[in-house]
Structure formats: C-alpha cells, structure tokens
Chains A and B, each alone.
Chain A
Amino acid sequence: MDWLEEELKSALNRKEPSPGFEARVAGAARHQKVVTMPRRWVAAAAAVIVLAGAGEAYRWHRGQETKEQLMLAMRITGGKLNRVQMQVSGTRQ
C-alpha cells in the first residue's frame, strides 16, 4: 500500500460527528426561510411571456402580409409602366 492509498483511506474514514450536531442542523433548518414565489405571480409572469410571444408573432404575420401587399402593388404598377415603356420604345424605333 503506497502513501496515496494511505492518505485516501485516512481521509475517507468514517468519523462520528461532534456531540449536538443533529440538533444544530435541525435548528438551522428551522430558522432558514424558504423563499417561494406566490402562484399568482408565476401565472402572471407566464401570461406576460405568452402575450409577448403572441404579440411578436402577430407583428411578424402583419409584416409579412404588408410586405406581400407592397410587392403586389409594385408588381401591378411596374407591369403597367413596363407596358407603356415597351409601347413607347416601339414607337420610337
């Protein structure tokens, strides 16, 4: 058995706690306040997150819709002007 094994054995050896250890731990646990968030706050926070997500999704949807409208408007106007351009160029030639 080398020195490392000896060291480990000594470090991991079972030791009895000092007298009154159990009472001290129980006392400390009694004095410690457990901080818990009221359920209504958890629900409110969840609602805010859901609403923010829904709002962002709606904004994205509206943005896509408006973009499609813009592209359609430009396609219609561009198409008509292209027609005019073609006719005018044809007349010039």
Chain B
Amino acid sequence: MRIIGIAALGCGMAALLWAQQFKFNLDHLAAKASNKVDLSLNKDMLQFAGKFLNSKDPDEAKAKGLLNGLEGIYIRSFEFAKEGAWSQADLDQVRNQLKAPEWGRIVGVQSAEDKENVEVFVRTESGKVTGIAVLATEPLEFTVANVVGNIPLESLADLGGQFGLPRMKAAPAKKKD
C-alpha cells in the first residue's frame, strides 16, 4: 500500500514537472506577500475552461482562440507591502533554468521610471515554439509565468493589449540634441 502511495506521488510529481517546463520554488515568497496569485492550469483544465468561455464576449472569444495550441499556464505572482521582500537570488534561481539550447531569451526590458524589469524567454523544440517564460519584477512585485504549448509567435503580440488592457501606444522617441 505504501509503495503504491509513493509511486502515485512520484507519478503526480513527474506529471507536474512535465507539464510545467521549469521549477518555480517560490513558496518562501508567499509568506511575505500581501497579495498572491498561484495558478496551475493544465491542458485538461484549459479545455474545461474553454467550454465556459462566451464567444460573444470579446476578451473571452480571444482567449478561446488562443487555447488551441496551449498545453498549460502556470503563474506565480506576488505583491508585497514593503520593498526588499524578494532578492536577486530568487530571480536567478528561475532564470538559471532558462538556458540554451532549449530556452532563449528573446527580449528583456527595463524601466528606470518604475524600476520594472520584464524578460521573455522562448522554448523551442525542432524549430517550434513549445513554451514561453515571462519573468517580471518590480520593487513590490515578483511574477513568473510559464505558458506551455505550441504557440505561434504572432500570438504573443495578440496576447498583449488584449483582455481589457488598453493597447498602449509606444512613448515617442526623445529627440537627440
């Protein structure tokens, strides 16, 4: 009985690791967070949720369209009341898993204004995109997202500026003196 239990636990862990493309290991931040989001949606759950999406709602219709290639979405997002709750080591332990040849960093942006740092990594297998990782940090926020699936890159652009968020216009470039 005990062996069966251990085997079942092992299978469960393996399934979780298989579904999620890298480990988050951020439970220690949850205790410090004033607000947290912990979402693990595997393929079955995505398909189940898809049945309840309303095609008449623009946001939900868009989400339904994106579900086709998705295998899972895993997100840990923490908001803190005070600065210094997360450390560079927390970021590095996630970032260190996103290495070549599977992962490639496609873009990283830093905002000096609000000290926001966002990095996007893409996982490719046989020339196909099989996953996206997003690391976003601010002094009071730490977010890691793993979108698993064969996602066409153009969907990336579609994903931004949708879901009730206004598509933000780029700030005009500063004139050089």
Contacting pair B168 A70 (CB below 8 A): no
Contacting pair B116 A83 (CB below 8 A): yes
| Those of A45-93 within 8 Å (CB) of chain B | 60, 62-64, 66-67, 69-93
Using Cβ atoms and an 8 Å threshold, which residues of chain B touch A91? 173
- In the complex, how many angstroms separate the beta carbon of B140 from the nearest chain A beta carbon? 15
| Those of B95-122 within 8 Å (CB) of chain A | 107, 109, 111, 116, 118, 120
Interface residues as binary, B132-171 with A (CB distance below 8 Å gives 1, 0 otherwise) = 1010100000010101000000001101111111011111
Q: Sort chain A's interface into a size bin.
A: 20 to 34
Using Cβ atoms and an 8 Å threshold, which residues of chain A touch B109? 83-84, 87-88
Contacting pair B75 A77 (CB below 8 A): yes
Using Cβ atoms and an 8 Å threshold, which residues of chain B touch A67? 49, 52-53, 60
Q: How far is the CA of A54 from the CA of B111 in the complex (A)?
A: 51
Contacting pair B49 A85 (CB below 8 A): no
Q: How far is the CA of A77 from the CA of B75 in the complex (A)?
A: 9
Q: How far is the CA of A87 from the CA of B111 in the complex (A)?
A: 8
Among B46, B53, B143, B170, point to the contact of A80 (Cβ < 8 A): B143
Among residues of B, the one whose C-beta sits closest to the C-beta of A64 is B52
Total residues of chain B contacting the partner, CB 8 A: 46
Interface residues as binary, A9-41 with B (CB distance below 8 Å gives 1, 0 otherwise) = 000000000000000000000000000000000
Whether a CB of chain A sits under 8 angstroms from the CB of B66 is yes
Interface residues as binary, B72-98 with A (CB distance below 8 Å gives 1, 0 otherwise) = 010101000000000000000000000
Further contacts, 6 of them, CB under 8 A, given A64-B52, A85-B157, A92-B170: A63-B51, A77-B134, A78-B159, A80-B145, A81-B134, A83-B168
Q: Could you jot down 28 A-B contacts, CB within 8 Å?
A: A60-B52, A62-B48, A64-B52, A66-B41, A66-B49, A67-B60, A69-B39, A70-B45, A71-B63, A74-B63, A74-B162, A75-B163, A76-B75, A77-B145, A80-B136, A80-B145, A81-B156, A81-B160, A82-B159, A82-B168, A83-B160, A84-B107, A84-B160, A86-B170, A87-B111, A91-B173, A93-B170, A93-B172
Residues of B at the A interface (CB closer than 8 Å) are 37, 39, 41, 45-46, 48-53, 59-60, 63, 66, 73, 75, 77, 107, 109, 111, 116, 118, 120, 132, 134, 136, 143, 145, 147, 156-157, 159-165, 167-173
Enumerate the 7 nearest inter-chain pairs by beta-carbon distance, A residue then B residue, closest first. Answer: A82-B160, A89-B170, A87-B109, A90-B170, A81-B160, A63-B52, A66-B49
